Amino acid sequence: MQHSTLMLKIKISPRSLSMFLIKTWRATAFGVYGYLNFTRNGFLEHAKNFKEEDMQKRIEGKNCIVTGANSGIGYATAEGLALRGATVYMVCRSKERGEAALSSIQSKTGNPNIHLEVCDLSSVNDIKSFTSRFSSKDVPVHVLVNNAGSLEQNRVVTPEGFETNFAVNVLGTYTMTELMLPLLEKAAPDARVITVSSGGMYSVPLTTDLQFSSGKFDGVEQYARNKRVQVALTEKWSEMYKEKAIGFYSMHPGWAETPGVTKSLPSFSERFAGKLRTSEEGADTVVWLALQPKEKLVPGAFYFDRAEAPKHLKFAATGGSHTAVDSIVANLRSMANLPPLN
């Protein structure tokens, strides 16, 4: 009797029930879609449609910046670009790990034009210091790969006062891209910005709660939110800067076995042991995007396995959320202490 009375007292509002059902659907749809497409088997299946000639282009004389380049997808991207003759600037937080990665890439590719730039992508001040130093070289930047990422399970705040995942994935990516625009313009019309997102963004809409201030902090959900912001920012950049002849593209690598995934998502790594992509397979579309003629690419698009991919899953109710991007851009500019847009 007490149980029945308790059940009667619990009232679930239609809105709460609706949100619960939508969140459940997103998680389920993402899980099924991901298992079918994001694993190594998905890559091998999609690779049947790849064109070998797409990856045979040489890019000597092209300057490419890759953030988070000392391991995982960043390392595989830097190596892939170096193999094709590019001058590669590896932006890494750790000088020691960066030097080891640089030495490895040079010996594997025989390309001497690999350089290490030390920068902590969680710090706006460090990014400003790096971009100022780099700008003094006065070299055109043909490709900027925003790859550096963070997935901290617990709330950690940087010395500058920002939640760490957000600081690296969103604020760092935004600040780096904006401050590199003058050097990207020097390489126009060939310049492009490639931002490495994640399929996890399918599970969430765009939210203006950038630092997960409301509700109980969830590192995995925050990472997914950050990755959704990256996709929306790519659309916005493409629209805002179309006159500058810079291409903006986002992509996701699928589920790859990288040191970052092993550290941040150990249970996921164990559960999918033997089914995850290699770092090289994860980086394949990044390198492909760097090599393609821009006429073949769709401005502001989201790519996966060398093809344009949807930005929203069916019935997931995330499509309309991108209208919030303008207020997010204004917030980011304020946080990074960049001048307001005209």
Which residues have a Cβ under 8 Å from the Cβ of 150 and sit 6 or more positions away? 122, 164, 165, 167, 168, 169, 223
Give the pLDDT mean for 116-134. Answer: 98
- Is 16 a residue whose pLDDT tops 70? no
Distance between CA atoms of residues 258 and 270, nearest Å: 12
Q: How many CB atoms lie within 10 A of CB 2?
A: 6
Residue 265 has a pLDDT of: 73
Strands 247-251 and 87-92, by their bridges, are unpaired
Residue 273 has a pLDDT of: 77
Give the pLDDT mean for 201-224. Answer: 94
Class of domain 17-48+62-335: alpha beta
In this predicted model, which residue has the larger pLDDT, 267 or 173? Answer: 173
Residue 6 has a pLDDT of: 42
Residue 317 has a pLDDT of: 57
Give the pLDDT mean for 209-215. Answer: 96
How sure is the predictor about 10, in pLDDT bands with cuts at 50, 70 and 90? very low
* DSSP per-residue codes, 116-165: EEE--TT-HHHHHHHHHHHHTT----SEEEE------SS--B-TTS-BHH
Q: What angle do CA 160, 193, 238 make, to 5 degrees?
A: 100
In this predicted model, which residue has the larger pLDDT, 76 or 319? Answer: 76
Question: What's the pLDDT tens digit per position in 149-178?
Answer: 999 999 999 999 999 999 999 999 999 999
How sure is the predictor about 11, in pLDDT bands with cuts at 50, 70 and 90? low
Residue 261 has a pLDDT of: 72
Point out which residues pair with 117 in neighbouring strands. Answer: 91
Question: What's the pLDDT tens digit per position in 220-239?
Answer: 999 999 999 999 999 999 99
Weakest mean pLDDT among 25-39, 79-93, 167-181: 25-39
Q: Which candidate, 74, 147, 77, 82, places its Cα nearest to that of 108?
A: 82
- Is 7 a residue whose pLDDT tops 50? no
- Is 256 a residue whose pLDDT tops 90? no
Give the pLDDT mean for 179-184. Answer: 98
In this predicted model, which residue has the larger pLDDT, 84 or 36? Answer: 84
Residue 26 has a pLDDT of: 65
- Is 329 a residue whose pLDDT tops 50? yes
Residue 116 has a pLDDT of: 98
How sure is the predictor about 8, in pLDDT bands with cuts at 50, 70 and 90? very low
**Catalytic machinery residues:** 223
In this predicted model, which residue has the larger pLDDT, 315 or 337? Answer: 337
Distance between CA atoms of residues 230 and 296, nearest Å: 22
How sure is the predictor about 266, in pLDDT bands with cuts at 50, 70 and 90? confident
Q: What is the pTM of this model?
A: 0.90
